[in-house]
Amino acid sequence: MKVEQISIFMENKAGRLAEVTAILKEHGVNIRALSLADTADFGVLRMIVDDTQKTDLILKKAGFTVGKTEVVAVEVMDTPGGLHDILEVLREKNINVEYMYAFVQQNSDRAVMIFRFDDVDTAITHLSARGMTVVPGKRLYSM
Amino acid sequence: MIYDMEFETLPREALEAIQLKRLQATLQRAYATVPFYRDRFREFGVTPSDIRCLDDMEKLPFLIKQDLRDNYPFGLFAVPKENVVRIHASSGTTGKPTVVGYTARDIDTWASLMARALTAGGAKRGDIIHNAYGYGLFTGGLGVHYGAEKLGATVIPVSGGNTKRQITIMKDFGPSILTATPSYTLHLAEVAREMGVDFRELHFRHGIFGAEPWSEAMRRQIEGDLGLSAVDIYGLSEVMGPGVAVECHEAKAGLHIFEDHFIPEIIDPETGKRLPLGEVGELVFTSITKEAFPVIRYRTRDITRLVAEPCICGRTMVRMEKVSGRTDDMLIIRGVNVFPSQIESVLMMISEVEPHYQLEVHREDSLDILTVKVEISQKLFTDEVRGLQNLERMIAKNIKEYLGISAKVRLVEPKSIARSEGKAVRVIDHRRL
């Protein structure tokens, strides 16, 4: 039920992000979702891609520091309060969200949110128990 | 075991009497035979007869690396050329190489001191010594070689390189002592692993490693990976070569300096003033038995301190701590002396591996600002910004705690710190002083 996310350490330098996307383009990797967290000096680029193994390999080969993290993808109704329903469950169960970002999906009445929890398994158990749809990695990579 | 029981355990008073006698003889000879020393002494208004006790040494001028280069190649030799039986030279990575010479008696003295050093490291007659220090102009290979023969051990003069063949020789000949640089030793261990050879199943008991600075963390790694007891040996070609000082395998707590041949001093690298025993500063050596190439107050640029407490091994000679840095790299930040190696130790505590780092200093409103750039590694990386910021804060906190200076720590991308000839450039000083 978990999704693998690739993360890269990047210094805040002009053109650095383009270097990453150039490598991905060259190897035919498709970015499914992306978020960038940054400070004054450095940032962390997080991505869901269609081929995690390959991306890990080519980026490491290009000299990047690459991390792989397990995250959880949850379907959200594309209506007011959709996200709130999920967060409500997490609040009740006292599950901490380290960070979250949205997944791009076309022509659908549902959105997908990517969550990073400190306790992934507990989160999945509680979300599933409350009828939330946790999207498995396999489906997500090819969405 | 002690090789030269009489001299290595001399009581202080007797040792100092010998030192003074030998020092005076060396000064007389250098003054009489080397124009450089005569001119320099005159410039300082001092003659050999002014040195009546060991403390009088402070009146003597220093000898620095540049003096050796200025007198390239044989200008500082104190004997006629036909009495010189051996030449060695430093690699000269920064300018001309420095050339040193030895008489037959110098070679014999050196061999005896290396026999002492090998014994201190755990070697004895009958041992097979795998000597992987380079043979050639570098003093390491031949220095160990002559010492091993003097000791009555069997020496394999394998030198450096051809690593796979070295592993085969180790398997087939069963050497019990390894002598090499610590970095080549780790390379040997790696190649052995690739060849499916377990170092710990070979016959090694002791290793004597030197010719470059190495840390306690490296000692643990070498001892663990190779299954032997590792000691540090110190020397430099200008002073003699390996065998100026060595750790005993019993204590592994500082290197015994063979003071009956070399007088050590610790000075403040800024002022040149002699520092009290136990304080950290630049190590200075005076050779007192060498014939062909005497050195008087030679500034090694190595940073260490001397320890006079008696050692459990029984040797009475003073110990120097592992060299903690080089004066070339020293930075003065808000009046505090900082060596890159100190920052390195702090980083080692956190990552357990040697990280790539660089120190940058600049001045803001007449205040020195130190920035420590640390290359992120796969091991230190986390995808949470907060985790990375905590890492920066933790490094800064440790630097403050151990070195007493505030530093801004910045994580940077791998390989982003410039390396010249494989070595990282450790210090960039933007200040206009």
Taking the alpha carbons of B247, B278, B265, B137 in that order, is the dihedral positive or negative?
positive
Q: In chain A, what are the domain boundaries?
A: 3-69, 70-141
Cβ contacts of B55 within 8 Å, gap of 6 or more? none
Judge contact between B63 and B236, C-beta under 8 A. Answer: no
Position A54 confidence tier, pLDDT thresholds 50, 70, 90: very high
Taking the alpha carbons of B401, B407, B410, B411 in that order, is the dihedral positive or negative?
negative
Contacts of A44 in chain B (CB under 8 A): 383-385, 388
Residue B146 clears pLDDT 60, i.e. is over it: yes
**Per-residue pLDDT at A107:** 61
Whether ipTM tops 0.95, in short, is no
Tokens of B364: 């803001």
Give strand ranges (E) for B211-297. Answer: 229-236, 241-247, 255-257, 262-267, 281-287
Angle between helices B182-194 and B163-173 (to 10 degrees): 80
Residue with tokens 């409103």: B365
Contacts of A116 in chain B (CB under 8 A): 383-384
End-to-end CA gap in chain B = 52
Residue B93 clears pLDDT 90, i.e. is over it: no
Judge contact between B131 and B159, C-beta under 8 A. Answer: yes
CB contact under 8 A, A39 and B382: no
SS percent in chain B: helix, strand, coil, step 5: 35, 25, 40
Identify from B376, B383, B386, B389 which residue to disrupt to test chain A contact, counting A C-beta atoms within 10 A and taking the largest count.
B383
Identify from A9, A13, A59 which residue to disrupt to test chain B contact, counting B C-beta atoms within 10 A and taking the largest count.
A9
CB contact under 8 A, B414 and A44: no
* Percent of all residues in chain B with a pLDDT value above 90, rounded to a whole number: 70
Judge contact between A32 and A104, C-beta under 8 A. Answer: yes
- Distance of CA B258 to CAs A89, B125, B245, B291, Å? 74, 21, 6, 17
Contacts of A42 in chain B (CB under 8 A): 388, 410-412
Instruction: Encode pLDDT of B176-203 as tens digits.
Output: 999 998 878 988 988 898 899 999 999 9
Which amino acid would we find at residue B209? Answer: F
Instruction: Encode pLDDT of B105-136 as tens digits.
Output: 999 999 999 999 999 999 999 999 999 999 99
* pTM (predicted TM-score): 0.69
Instruction: Encode pLDDT of B94-105 as tens digits.
Output: 567 889 999 999
The more confident residue out of B429 and A4 is A4
* A74-83, B238-247, B386-395: least confidently modelled range: A74-83
Burial class (CB in 10 A: 0-12, 13-18, 19+), B212: exposed
Cα distance from B296 to chain A (closest Cα, Å)? 49
**Per-residue pLDDT at B421:** 47
Contacts of B411 in chain A (CB under 8 A): 9, 41-42
The more confident residue out of A14 and B156 is B156
Q: Per mean pLDDT, which of B237-241, B344-348, B352-356 is the most reliable?
A: B237-241
Position B432 confidence tier, pLDDT thresholds 50, 70, 90: low
Position B338 confidence tier, pLDDT thresholds 50, 70, 90: confident
Instruction: Encode pLDDT of B57-88 as tens digits.
Output: 999 999 998 899 899 999 999 999 999 999 99
Mean pLDDT of B153-158: 98
Instruction: Encode pLDDT of B40-58 as tens digits.
Output: 999 999 999 999 999 999 9
How far is Cα B315 from Cα B322, in angstroms, rounded to an integer? 17
**Per-residue pLDDT at B344:** 81
Judge contact between A98 and A36, C-beta under 8 A. Answer: no
Contacts of A98 in chain B (CB under 8 A): 384
* Listed residue (A35, A36, A49) closest to A3, CA to CA: A49
Query: How high does pLDDT run on average in chain A?
Result: 90
Query: How high does pLDDT run on average in chain B?
Result: 91
How far is Cα B237 from Cα B139, in angstroms, rounded to an integer? 6
Contacts of B385 in chain A (CB under 8 A): 37-39, 43-44
The more confident residue out of B375 and B265 is B265
Residue B333 clears pLDDT 60, i.e. is over it: yes
How far is Cα B294 from Cα B2, in angstroms, rounded to an integer? 27
Fold of A3-69: VC0802-like (3.30.2130)
Residue B275 clears pLDDT 60, i.e. is over it: yes
End-to-end CA gap in chain A = 15
- From chain B, which residues contact A within 8 Å (Cβ)? 376-378, 381-385, 388-389, 410-416
> Can you list the domains of chain B with their CATH numbers?
1-328 (3.40.50.12780), 330-429 (3.30.300.30)
Residue B236 clears pLDDT 90, i.e. is over it: yes
Which CATH architecture does the domain made up of A70-141 adopt?
Answer: 2-Layer Sandwich (3.30)
Using CB atoms, pick whichever of B383, B414, B415 lies closest to residue A69. Answer: B383
**Per-residue pLDDT at B422:** 47
